[in-house]
Structure 1
Amino acid sequence: MIKQITNTWVIAAAVSLSFSYGAMAQEEGIQEPPSTTTAVAETTAVTYQCTLHEMTRRIEIEYANAGASVPCSVNYYKDTEQPGEVNTLWHASNVEGYCEERAEAFSQKLISWGWSCTNP
């Protein structure tokens, strides 16, 4: 019976200390350390907006790592016909400039088919 009371007391003390530390940390202005989970930010640096009549198409170069030109993907969106769908046309892992060249060439192909494309 004494053992049970002692265990209960120890558990209560641990909970109390934990709570007291949290309250003390708030009073002292101590913040929790930042989370160690890191998200890789995807950035889109180049976008072509193309229109023909009532249709809109978009060509985007998506970079996997901010500040690095590879790896990259050239994504094509048919915004009016298939909203939300992404078609990856090309991908480069090692060759810098490949995605930019492919996106530019594809926008020129759309222009040759009568589309009007801008690169804002």
Structure 2
Amino acid sequence: MKYLAYNSWVLLLTILIAPSDSFANSWTCHYAELTRNVLIFHPNEPATLPCKVYYTKPDENVMPRTLWNAENDDDYCERKAIEFIKTLESRGWQCSSDNDQ
């Protein structure tokens, strides 16, 4: 049952991360053989609210997490995601925006 739930989350986030107009920013971070993804999701694009910041560890058997979400502050998700990316980079992770590719 846990495996099925994990696969459902992976499928959901794969759909969210796939190129579309329904997200503002996403990043991929690498450290040694590990990968992390950070995604800001706006379900009502072009509206910036509501928003959610998702964090995934695609190479590990870890459920994706929602780190932050907002319904009232336009800049909250982007601000928190960028702070988190800076924290990862300060710990040695190499992060790049997926939107630049």
Structure 1 ranges of 4+ moved more than 4 A: none
Deviation, 1:44, is: 1.7
1:98 aligns with 2:76: yes
Aligned mates of 1:45, 1:53 — CA distance in 2: 27
Contact 1:43–1:62 (8 Å) recurs in 2: yes
2:30 counterpart (51, 55, 63): 51
Aligned mates of 2:39, 2:69 — CA distance in 1: 12
Q: TM-score, normalised by structure 1?
A: 0.62
Which has the bigger relative contact order, CA under 8 A and spacing at least 6?
2
**Runs of 5+ unmatched residues, structure 2:** 1-19
Identity of aligned pairs, percent?
A: 37
Task: Count matched residues.
Answer: 79
* Equivalent residue runs for 1:7-86 within 5 Å: 43-82=22-61, 85-86=63-64
Q: TM-score, normalised by structure 2?
A: 0.73
Contact 1:42–1:63 (8 Å) recurs in 2: no
Aligned mates of 1:82, 1:106 — CA distance in 2: 21
Deviation, 1:78, is: 0.5
Q: Give the root-mean-square deviation of aligned CA atoms.
A: 1.7
Q: Which residue of 2 aligns with 1:34?
A: none
SS at match of 1:80: coil
Q: Deviations over 1:12-53 (max 9, x none)?
A: xxxxxxxxxxxxxxxxxxxxxxxxxxxxx9812200110001
Contact 2:42–2:49 (8 Å) recurs in 1: yes
Deviation, 1:82, is: 2.8
Aligned mates of 1:86, 1:42 — CA distance in 2: 21
